[in-house]
Amino acid sequence: MTSDYVSNMYVELVKEIRKEVTIPLAVKIGPYFSSLPNVAKRLAEAGANALVFFNRFYQPDFDLDNLEVVPHINLSTSSTLLLRLRWVAILYGRIPIDFAITGGVHTAEDVVKSMMAGAKVAMMTSALLKFGIPHLSTVLKKLEQWLNEHEYDSIEIMQGSMSQKSVNEPAAFERANYMHALTRYTAGS
Ligand SMILES: Cc1cc2nc3c(=O)[nH]c(=O)nc-3n(C[C@H](O)[C@H](O)[C@H](O)COP(=O)(O)O)c2cc1C
């Protein structure tokens, strides 16, 4: 299949579902499209009300002793969040639908980052598997604490405040900035 064929399948599926249901339609996508912004735009035009960034594809591991492919549940860490933050920050304000982030949301700070990138929703799975359901109350408490300490009256105020359109240095989201990061790298940092 060509990349065009694959993205058309998603778009056609969303169009079909949109015809059948009137409830809000959120589409969870993976990060591996050839042109993610184009696919996101086309899904919005096809009738999606929201996009969820991103599906974590199931990745089986190899058992080297038995030479078998083995099922593997790989829980995320907060570093998984960065790919989501980048894409939501880039697309915020450019595609007129809502965004949710799933993948790497473990702490209150991760929720704040997700909101600042431009998401309306931050979802949590691995952290709840790791720490149990009460972790949700801890995150909520710490989030309220963070908002108070930093004098934010609401979540809405911060939404999109770190998006590419809002920051002073939009190039910070682009690949050229990698060189800058490498030249500043010091061992052990
Ligand atoms: C055990 C397990 C089962 C999951 N089942 C589904 C599923 O049925 N449908 C789905 O869209 N995502 C599923 N996910 C993905 C999660 O919804 C979530 O997007 C992903 O784990 C990334 O978020 P996290 O970093 O908070 O774990 C599952 C994840 C785990 C760990």
Q: What is the pLDDT of residues 95-123, one digit of tens each?
A: 999 999 999 999 999 999 999 999 999 99
Angle at 114 between CA 92 and CA 77, to 5 degrees: 135
Strand partners, 27: 51
Alpha-carbon distance values, 174 to 25, 34, 90, 171 (Å): 30, 16, 9, 5
Q: Is 118 in the pocket of ligand 1 (CB under 6 A)?
A: no
Q: What is the pLDDT of residues 145-183, one digit of tens each?
A: 999 999 999 999 999 999 999 988 888 888 667 777 777
Alpha-carbon distance values, 28 to 14, 87, 118, 132 (Å): 11, 14, 16, 24
Q: Is 103 in the pocket of ligand 1 (CB under 6 A)?
A: yes
Look up the pTM and report it. 0.91
Q: Is 107 in the pocket of ligand 1 (CB under 6 A)?
A: no
Q: Which atom of ligand 1 is nearest to the CA of 123?
A: 26
